[in-house]
Amino acid sequence: MGKLKLSDRQLYALIEAVKLGEEIKPSQQAKRKAFSKYKIEGWENSKLTGIFYSIQRRLGLIDEIIEELVGVLPLILDPWLRAALRVAVEIAVFRDPNKKTIQHLKGLAKFLSKKTHPYVGYYYYELLLRVINYIPKLDSEEKRLKWDYLFPEWFIARMKNLLGDEAEELLKSLNETLPTSIRVNRLKASVKEVKDYLLSKGPRFERSERVETIIRILDPFNPEWLFNKGWAIPQEEASAVASLVLDPKPGETVVDLAAAPGGKTAHMAELMNNKGKIYAFDVDSERIKRMKEVLKRAGVEIVEIIKADGRKAPKILGEGIADRVLLDAPCTSDGTIAKNPELRWRLREKNISKVVELQKELIKSAWRLLKPGGRLLYSTCSMLPEENEEVVRWFLGKHKDAKIIPLKGPYDPGFLEGTMRAWPHRHRTIGFFYALIEKKK
């Protein structure tokens, strides 16, 4: 590999993309907008896209370096200065730029003076020398792992606590991109029809060994046509397993307490052959809009969407009305980092307790909705025991009429007997937790 070469124009495009990435979500939209402004196309696009995503993955680490050099939190800096420093740290500290690229980095002082204020340009120029000469102090195992795998130190410590030496394998797998995963919607198509379509289009794909309707597409390919026809829905294997574990039957009454964007809701309707009733609760208008589209395309007819907090469900529907309740609880979502790389730096240890409070309130609501003999699935896409086994343990301690129905697969046992966990490094899917609880008659 030769040294990294970047022109002024390419640097401007990266800075604008990083700045826009703070305002526009998902970040790939910001990147597209900035790159088209600077006419970044073809091979140039793929080279700069790699650098842009690398900045997103390393963001927390890059910001720590900036804080060390500037002495204040990057968030209080001028937004243009912050974006330029993030790009400069990525290139000067983590890559091997050639002399010309270093000159172009220095030239950014002028670009910044024009964009915001002359002082910002001078200040950037002074800081840049410190960036170029920066050498990190990796004086602990957690720090080394943080540099190697790009996670907050507290998260690394937690995973080491759970998995010992295996933690490094987990961190590594969270940095690998998962293939596009789709679930065949049997209300509209068979697995064979979807396979035939993919064979005609040419990408390599494989069927999941654990869920017969899940197909992983191994090459770059946009399955938009399948989604538009309602033949398939984007869904990870571990997420599809949730509906299979709850196993709703045709004719039953089911409540989905945090339903949008609707992948599991649609799956349950399919398992019920579109017979019975599903009440789908969610509070987020944008996500509900997406859910309506997903359900319509999938040909689902038995869902009633209710825009309300799941904690209010017993008041709205009445108590003891449901045969099954799915509570795929809001969580820190750390199990999905392979799909959402920038999420890793938004994980805050101090936020866990707030999330757990909400989970406990929702599971209380779920229980009130359930008929005697009915079943509740409590699931999350988190790997932290506080959001999983500990919530279930707390709940079982409060409810003598609750018993765990032991899960024997397709994944590994959880840290509480009868529960189950999907691990990214062991099962090639997102991190997931499952506990199936029955209300005694």
Packed helices 389-398 and 352-369: angle between N→C axes, nearest 10 degrees:
50
Spatial separation of the C-alpha atoms in residues 29 and 190, rounded to whole Å: 33
Spatial separation of the C-alpha atoms in residues 207 and 181, rounded to whole Å: 10
Cβ atoms of residues 325 and 296 within 8 Å: no
Q: What does the block give as tokens for 398?
A: 């409060």
Cβ atoms of residues 383 and 335 within 8 Å: yes
Annotated catalytic residue, options 381, 383, 402, 420: 381
Packed helices 263-271 and 237-246: angle between N→C axes, nearest 10 degrees:
40
The reply to whether 381 belongs to the active site is: yes
Spatial separation of the C-alpha atoms in residues 5 and 213, rounded to whole Å: 45
Cβ atoms of residues 50 and 143 within 8 Å: no
Q: What does the block give as tokens for 295?
A: 């359900």
Spatial separation of the C-alpha atoms in residues 89 and 97, rounded to whole Å: 11
User: Which of 179, 187, 268, 184 has the alpha carbon at shortest distance from 233?
Assistant: 184
Which neighbouring-strand residues pair with 281?
306
Q: What does the block give as tokens for 214?
A: 């899940």
Residues labelled as active-site residues: 381
